[in-house]
Structure 1
Amino acid sequence: MSNKTKARRLAVGPDRDKVAQDLRKKYDSGTSIRALAQETGRSYGGVHQLLKDAGATFRSRGGDQRSTE
């Protein structure tokens, strides 16, 4: 038996597109992919794919880069 929840088995189509757009809005507002994954119960890779499908522009890795000067 699969341990996936109903939310994780999202079918293709308008429902998936809506979830992807909602995630993109949150990501564009500054929420991390890891935080979105935890919030939605999806994997990091699943959230990343939804964001990619929604046309998100990804931030660089590594968090806040502070000047060492």
Structure 2
Amino acid sequence: MMRKEYDFENMKSRKNPYARNLKKQVTIRIGVDIIDYFKKQAEETGVPYQNLINLYLRDCVQSNRKLSINWTQ
């Protein structure tokens, strides 16, 4: 049976031991127009723009989306 109220004041917090495996910080060069786009989306959705970029890239991975780019000039 659950209590109506719990006392979390004396509870000791600890870091998630798996958090390090969930995301990795990287340095990446992204066009200013791309960042502006995602920042605008962030304002509209209330989701931080870095999370939106991560979600978009995750969607690309899950749908196995491939780029079709011709590098010849």
**Same fold by TM (over 0.5)?**
no
Could you tell me the TM-score, scaled by structure 2's length? 0.31
Q: Bigger relative contact order, structure 1 or 2, given CA contacts below 8 A and separation 6+?
A: 1
**Whose Rg is larger?**
2
Higher helix share: 1
